[in-house]
Structure 1
Amino acid sequence: MLSGFMNFLWACFRPRSDRRVRNGSDSGGRQDGLLWYKDSGYHHNGDFSMAVVQANNLLEDQSQLESGCLSLQESGPYGTFVGVYDGHGGPETSRFINSNLFQNLKRFTSENQSISVEVIKKAFQATEEGFLSIVSKQWPMKPQLAAVGSCCLVGVVCGGTLYIANLGDSRAVLGRHVKATGEVLAIQLSDEHNACIESVRQELRSTHPDDSQIVVLKHNVWRVKGLIQISRSIGDVYLKNAEFNREPLYAKFRLREPFKRPILSSDPSVSVHQLQPHDLFIIFASDGLWEHLTNQEAVDIVQNHPRAVCYKQDLILLAQGIAKRLVKVALRKAAKKREMRYSDLKKIDRGVRRHFHDDITVIVLFLDMNKTISVNVSVKGAGMNTLASSPN
């Protein structure tokens, strides 16, 4: 009886080589008010879940998952790329990153014939330079574009190696099984660049020894030059190039004294991890999630979420809506902090909703490094095209 049930499950959930998922404008995702979610899908070494909830008038969070060839050459390498881009000041920078960063990575991977820390850093720098070019061209018409920027969190899984690159305060957290105790521990993989962290303030002071106001405590929040919390980003060129820190930029962004060296950096922190069988999943999320959940709380929610199983070495989807679950838990906590019900929070429209919580993006990537799936997937926000075949 159990065997029959498992066969039924597998028949329902297995990917088929002749199946293309193209479901209109959301391309496989669903919309529930301001919440968009993709409950489950396959990537090169397992499956994933994705969810985004909007709070701003214009969604400033952008995100993507790309799985398949990570090069312009069909010979590979193959793997999975995850990006979470938390914009500020507007959506322009995060949208630009969403359209260009992965393509830059593929270009440099082709040139070097492999993924490496150097390749990832080159992709970040090319993306920064590309956005700077846009700001320069549009400066006479849209000077405020110089004050738009984005955090940038990237994960690349390739050949059993995980690369994590980060600018800003989005976060990647690994769920690792501890065999001796049976626990699943949360391990933060990304370095954060927020002035609220003492080590970040020390770094800023050491790189700007002549500026006593490089970090300022303003309304009980540490800010770089009293303007911005993060110390690294894509964009924000008004704090990187002095030529853009002048009229006609709004006065609230302009510094009183000119600066000789960039105040913010676009150089990402990059770490390399050799994945092990006990590394179960990775949570990639913008800081909108981490404002309400600790690393361990998020990992516990993922680990305790009901999910399918493997049968006769066939991979059955595990993700099944877990990203949406994480977002909803965060929203319930946000509502509770304001002494209101979640059902009432859901009725609040975008724009006004920003007073209660930030845009939130979550991608949960489950890992099974003993299996690979022949799958080409491209997900950007609410868009997805996929062609999958059975695991091997």
Structure 2
Amino acid sequence: MGCCVSTSSRSSCSNRSHSEAASPSCFCGQKRTKRTFSDHVIALQHLPSVPNRIFTNGKSRTSCIFTQQGRKGINQDAMIVWEDFMPEDVTFCGVFDGHGPHGHLVARKVRDALPLKLLSSMHSHQSRQNGSGRTCFKGNSKKSDGGDSEKDGSAEDRLNSLWREAFMKSYKAMDKELRSHPNLDCFCSGSTAVTIVKQGSNLYMGYIGDSRAIMGSKDSNDSMVAIQLTVDLKPDLPREAERIKRCKGRVFALQDEPEVPRVWLPFDDAPGLAMARAFGDFCLKEYGVISIPEFSHRVLTERDQFIVLASDGVWDVLSNEEVVDIVSSAPSRSSAARILVDSAAREWKLKYPTSKMDDCAVVCLFLDGKMDSESDYEEQGFSSATLQSNHSGNAVESDDGQKSEPSLQRNFTVRSAEESDSYGRPPPEFEGNVDTVSGEDQNWSGLEGVTRVNSLVQLPRFSEERPNP
């Protein structure tokens, strides 16, 4: 099933379209054209009209998403599911957790721009390879006996390398755009990212920060098991800590939260970033915090049931196994994300009644491509108006700050020693290839039961005594 996107036409040529004719300037998986990706540029202002792209609470054909604000101010989490991301059965999913005074704007900016950069990278590479600009990306290689199996294997390796390069380039371009953004100050604000591309039976993943992706799969006894797909890139991971220290950054935890390692400037006890990689946070980019993603590839099997992407507000209070149990036992698939967020909220209150609950964002992608009926969806408390707004793209949230500069009022993502207990609600350069995830790091789980309340401790206080780096 394909999808048509054009700056001059907002029609869809998917199989579900009724009387609309396909735009001549669109690309479609059913009928390939010889136009290049430059003919189908998607501007940010046109994203809300793109079909099969959801980014607010709701569901799609194969997934459901839900987010809930914590008790630290404005919700800084963002999420997206983009079905028909490309022809040949490609779906893009992502969760982004912002931090700092402008973290919510950074997360939304990354949510909107990063998929486009990934899409552009894939199309430009394909154009260079075949010279025709065809958007043909095969996600399933049909293996056969004899010499064809070697060809299929090499084709799969080339596709894997192609996606790796696309993730690396798009993440680099995203961070570069944030650095030069005219209306968005990312000096002490940033965002994590956990992004996946499902192409047929192949799963490609790129991620930075401490948001996480897991998969629910059935073992040989048909029991549900949890498989962690990504690594929480925290500052005390040995290779992350080594890089940060090599760049003169410091890694240590505060006395009142010894479970939370943080990144600090060499000359100031700030900002105390609780992750080793992030978009933005340019005050720390010279001192070891990078935006180069980890990349991995997995071939899905029939035993794999669903994938869950979530921000650390979920993982701080729920284990991988608990998340899989909650999603697999949900009364309907369309309610799974909401029930998971509700469960995390209850755990926050039970485990840490004196702590400020973090924002939570969840994406549940069901790998068999099936979803509940409309009646089941409405029974779970989602109105048809919400469903319609998600499919039509009429978002209820504000833009990413293009038109107005956000206020610098405290939103309780940044904490100082003088912070009160009341809850306010005011409105590196890329070098080389990223090492593959080692077996040792694969077993590195996120902190269970963290009392952390902020991703940043405080803004840096630059003075005349600041040494030259």
* TM-score in same-fold range (> 0.5): yes
Determine if the alignment matches structure 1 residue 218 to structure 2 residue 254.
Answer: yes
Q: Is the 8 A contact 2:78 2:111 kept in 1?
A: yes
- 1:88 aligns with 99
Determine if the alignment matches structure 1 residue 294 to structure 2 residue 316.
Answer: no
- 1:108 aligns with 121
Change (3 A) 1:182 1:37: same
- 1:187 aligns with 227
- 1:131 aligns with 178
- 2:350 aligns with 336
Looking at structure 2, the residues matched to 210 and 122 of structure 1 have their Cα atoms a distance apart, in angstroms, of 23
User: What 5-or-longer segments of structure 2 have no aligned partner?
Assistant: 1-14, 21-47, 127-136, 138-161, 372-386, 394-469
**Aligned pairs for 1:18-37 within 5 A:** 18=18, 37=57
Q: Is the 8 A contact 2:247 2:287 kept in 1?
A: no
Looking at structure 1, the residues matched to 262 and 200 of structure 2 have their Cα atoms a distance apart, in angstroms, of 40
Find 2:82's aligned residue among 58, 66, 70.
Answer: 66
Q: Which has the higher contact order (CA 8 A, sep 6+)?
A: 1
Once the two structures are superposed, residues 30-84 of structure 1 have per-residue CA deviations (whole angstroms, 9 ceiling, x without a partner) of xxxxxx731x321xxxx111110012422211111111143xxxxx344100011
Change (3 A) 1:386 1:176: farther
Q: CA deviation at 1:370?
A: 11
Q: Is the 8 A contact 1:160 1:369 kept in 2?
A: no
Looking at structure 2, the residues matched to 146 and 303 of structure 1 have their Cα atoms a distance apart, in angstroms, of 41
Higher strand content, 1 or 2 = 1
Question: Secondary structure, in 3 states, of the residue corresponding to 2:350?
Answer: helix
Q: CA deviation at 1:206?
A: 4.7
Percent identity (aligned): 28
Looking at structure 2, the residues matched to 18 and 331 of structure 1 have their Cα atoms a distance apart, in angstroms, of 42
Report the TM-score when normalising by structure 2: 0.56
User: What 5-or-longer segments of structure 1 have no aligned partner?
Assistant: 1-14, 29-35, 71-75, 241-260, 308-318, 341-354, 372-380, 388-392
Looking at structure 2, the residues matched to 48 and 370 of structure 1 have their Cα atoms a distance apart, in angstroms, of 8
Question: Secondary structure, in 3 states, of the residue corresponding to 1:385?
Answer: helix
Q: CA deviation at 1:159?
A: 2.4
Looking at structure 2, the residues matched to 77 and 118 of structure 1 have their Cα atoms a distance apart, in angstroms, of 19
Give the AA of the match of 1:232. Answer: R
Give the AA of the match of 1:361. Answer: A
Report the TM-score when normalising by structure 1: 0.67
Q: Is the 8 A contact 1:92 1:148 kept in 2?
A: no
- 1:97 aligns with 110
Give the AA of the match of 1:336. Answer: L
Q: CA deviation at 1:122?
A: 1.0
Q: Is the 8 A contact 2:244 2:250 kept in 1?
A: no
Looking at structure 2, the residues matched to 300 and 19 of structure 1 have their Cα atoms a distance apart, in angstroms, of 43
**Aligned pairs for 1:164-313 within 5 A:** 164-178=205-219, 180-195=220-235, 198=236, 200-206=237-243, 208-209=245-246, 211=248, 214-219=250-255, 220=258, 221-225=260-264, 227-240=272-285, 261-307=286-332
Find 2:164's aligned residue among 90, 114, 117.
Answer: 117
Change (3 A) 1:263 1:223: same
Q: CA deviation at 1:174?
A: 0.4
Q: CA deviation at 1:238?
A: 1.1
Question: Secondary structure, in 3 states, of the residue corresponding to 1:62?
Answer: strand
Once the two structures are superposed, residues 354-383 of structure 1 have per-residue CA deviations (whole angstroms, 9 ceiling, x without a partner) of x53111000100002799xxxxxxxxx996
